[in-house]
Chains A and B, each alone.
Chain A
Amino acid sequence: MSKVRVLVGTKKGAFILTSDGARKRWKVSGPHFAGWEIYHMKGSPVDPDRIYASQTSGWFGQIIQRSDDGGKTWNAPGSSAEEQKSPDGMPKGESNKFVYDTSPETGRPLTTHQWYDGTQHPWEFKRVWHLEPSLDDPDHIYAGVEDAALFESTDGGKSWYELAGLRGSDTGPKWQPGAGGMCLHTILLDPSNPKRISIAISAAGAFRTDDGGKTWKPINRGLHSQYIPDPTAEVGHCVHRMALHPSRPNTLFMQKHWDVMRTDDAGDSWKEVSGNLPTDFGFPIDVHAHEPETIYVVPIKSDSEHYPPSGRLRVYRSRTGGNEWQALTKGLPQRNCYVNVLRDAMSVDSLEPCGVYFGTIGGQVYASADAGDNWKPIVRDLPAVLSVEVQTLP
């Protein structure tokens, strides 16, 4: 019988929730890395027991952790006794070394970006927001970081190098931090075209490469953002999250800082599909595992009031790829609920029917085993949830 493993990153550690395919009884393991912020964990699609975790702290910086046994044990890649020595005898310990590439051969000069007050500010690495293992090699993984850049490792996370063409594109000086920082938080790999990657940055917008990361172009045509001087500017849009269904990689869905959007031409043009949502502000967006036109969002009242409208926690589902939305409320608190759901804190499993999962900053992780019709908390008193990823296991 299939199993489900839910990887939960929180403000104070990681938790791993497991169940059989019925998704009724859950075992909770953790906290792993107690006291550390776990921004994101994700497993390799080709080796589900290979899981990567972004462990971070404002005091002590970035750590990359890796498990090769499904989360039972963890190690910083490259830190074993055999691996840790460089030829001069010093430890390498470089799995947490994220240095912007300024080399003449492959890199770009370290320029500036816009700061909150409109001045220019130098690029500074702060943390890894999102880890995206490649679709065909467990040792190959991408990392989206703050200040916004894309890094890649091809040795299982032991060493990282920047795909500098993105940060070095002409628009870099116009990028600016959102309230949470200038982060690259979404990495979408195209299963039909290994050279194509789409990413999103808050607050710069969406970008796409068609040559494996050497060159990038903004893909923000059709976005409209009242909070920037030119609402239809090429960059500067605060994209909160994007998602795709693997069977239709040219269709991307986007939850923006106001507006839910879709594109059917891989981002060359976007149209709004907010439709009848009670508010089109929010953070996560995800796609049903088996229905490419069924999508989920969690409407949040506004950019200044990060909680559900009217204190009612409602997931909205569209079975028409947007515009027509249905509130899903069964099992979710419908009074006095003022939690937020962060951008990386929603995921789906691939069982039948599709399971949908999300975590809140109040520490609840809710699950639906019937595509959103009914919900139950798996666990309800964790630290604030930063990310939720789901693995469907044989």
Chain B
Amino acid sequence: MIRVVLPPHLRTLARVDGDLQLEVKTPVSQRSVLDALEVKYPMLRGTIRDHVTKLRRPMVRFFVCGEDLSHESPDAPLPDAIAKGTEPFLIIGAIAGG
């Protein structure tokens, strides 16, 4: 199981508390994690990546194992620690504004 942590606004929207657990097809990548997330929580479509282009929204970041992977290819494999669920995939609202 993959662990995903949503920012507070999206937890409110998806009506969830704490970490999410998702079954994700291999290879585990940003795209496969987000695809699985949007299948389980369709109200999140369009909030993390654009409806049409599927590009990450400009002020959303993906943090993984202490690194910002926001600018990596969405199809690049994520680290084993994410695939094994020992570390969470963090979706972050960028620190900007109030």
Interface residues in chain A, defined as those with a beta carbon under 8 Å from any beta carbon in chain B: 33-36, 57-63, 76, 79, 84, 90-94, 96-97, 99
Contact = CB atoms under 8 A, between A and B. Distances in A.
Given A59-B57, A59-B59, A94 B13 contact: no
A340 to B, nearest CB: 17
Interface string B1-23: 00000011110110000000000
B40 to A, nearest CB: 9
B84 interface: no
Assign chain B's interface to a size class: 20 to 34
By secondary structure, the A interface counts as: loop
B51 interface: yes
Contacts of B57: 59-61
Contacts of A76: 13, 43
B13 A63 contact: yes
A100 to B, nearest CB: 10
B10 to A, nearest CB: 6
Interface in B24-48: 38-39, 42-48
B12 A35 contact: yes
Given A63-B13, A94-B51, A97-B51, A58 B59 contact: yes
Nearest to B39: A91
Given A36-B12, A99-B52, A93 B94 contact: no
A90 B39 contact: yes
Contact of B45 (A35, A36, A93): A93
B60 interface: yes
Nearest to B59: A59
Contacts of B93: 59-60
A84 B12 CA distance: 19
